Structure 1
Amino acid sequence: MVAGYFLLPLDPLGPHRPALSWTVFALALLLVALLLLRQVRDVLVNRPQARPGVVIPLLMCLSVLVFSAGYYSLAKQPGEFRGLATRTDALYYTTVTLATVGGDITPEGQAARVVTVVQVLYSFVFLTAAATALTRHVRNQVIRSRQRDRQGRG
C-alpha cells in the first residue's frame, strides 16, 4: 500500500481541479470508514467468516494514506501548509497528527486546518472503534485458544 501511495498519480488532483480533488478525498474516506464499520460490526456480532485481524490493520493504514494523499494534494495550493512539500512530508504530517504529538509542519490555510480537524475527528471515531474491535477480536481468539488447549489436556 505504501508503494502504491508513492506511485499513485496525484498530479491530476490539487488546486487546478478542486471539485475533483475534494470529491475523490471525501469518497475515499467514506469508503474506508464504511469498510471499517463493517469490520467493527462483524467483530461485535462475532461473524466466524470475518477476518478483522487482517482487514482492520490494512484499512487503518489505508486511512493514513488517504489523508497523506489529501495533504500532499492540498499542499500544492500556496498558503495551505508550511513545511509540507513531498509525499514523505505528507505521510510524516499525517502520522504526527494521528499520534497528536505536533511537529514542524503547520497547516496555515483554512482548508488545511479543516482537513486536519477532520483527520483528528476521523481518528477518534473510526480508528478508535476499529482498534477497539481489533483488540476485542484478538482477546476472543486468545480465550478460544486457551479453552481448546484446556479441552485437549482434559
Structure 2
Amino acid sequence: MTPQRPYRRERRRASLACALLVVAYFAVPVRSDPNGLRLMLRAAGTAALVLTVAWLVTAQVRRQLAAPEIPGTVPVRALVHLAVALVAGLLTFALADYVIAQTAPGQFVGLATRVDALYFALATLTTVGYGDVYAHGQFARVVVSLQMVFSIGVITTGVSLVVRQLTRRPGGR
C-alpha cells in the first residue's frame, strides 16, 4: 500500500460525508406549524443542533491547535474531521436561518428558499454581505450575530488551520 492510499481514502470519506450533509440539508422537512408547542420544540431542536455543531467544531479546532507538529507529516484524519465539521457548521447555520425565515416571516428579507439560506450563510461566513438578503427582525439579527461571532472565532480559525496544514511543505515549517 502506498502512503498516498490512506489519504485518498480519507478524502473520499470526507467528500462523501460532505455530500451527505448537503443532501440532509436539502431533505430535512421544515414546515410552518400553527401549533405553538411543536414550533417551540422545533426551535429548541434547531438551537440544540446549532450548539452541538458549534461544540463539535470547537473541539476539532482545539484538537488541531493542541496537536504536536511532526515535521514532514500532515494529520490527515484530523484535517478531514475538521473540514467536515466546518461544512456541518455552515449548513447548520443555513438551516437555522431557513427555519427562522419559514416560521417567522419578516425576520429576513430576500430569504425564501434553502438555496437563499445557504447563500446567506456563506455570504455571512465570508463577510461579503451583498445586501440582497439580510436579517430584518430582532430575533434574526440575534441569530445572525451569533453566526458572525461563531464564524470569526471558530470557523475562520479552523479554515486557517486546514489551509496551513495542507500548504505546509513536508520536512519544513
2:46 to 14, 18, 25: 25
Aligned 1:3-152 pairs, distance under 5 A: 3-11=23-31, 16=36, 17-46=38-67, 51-76=77-102, 77-103=104-130, 104-138=132-166, 142-144=169-171
CA offset digits 1:64-115 (Å, max 9, x no partner): 1111111111112121111111111111111111111222012111111111
TM-score for both structures, normalised by structure 1: 0.79
The alignment partner of 1:138 has SS state of helix
Q: Which amino acid aligns with 1:134?
A: V
TM-score for both structures, normalised by structure 2: 0.71
Unaligned runs of 5+ in 1: 148-154
Aligned-partner Cα distance in 2 for 1:41–1:80 = 34
Tell me, yes or no, if the aligned pair for 2:61 and 2:154 is still in contact at 8 Å: no
Aligned-partner Cα distance in 2 for 1:78–1:35 = 30
The percentage of counterpart residues that share the same residue type is 34
Unaligned runs of 5+ in 2: 1-20
The alignment partner of 1:143 has SS state of coil
Tell me, yes or no, if the aligned pair for 1:14 and 1:21 is still in contact at 8 Å: no
How many pairs align?
A: 145
Tell me, yes or no, if the aligned pair for 2:57 and 2:89 is still in contact at 8 Å: no
Pick closer, same or farther for the CA change 1:14–1:24 going to 2, 3 Å.
Answer: farther
Pick closer, same or farther for the CA change 1:108–1:44 going to 2, 3 Å.
Answer: closer
The alignment partner of 2:170 has SS state of helix
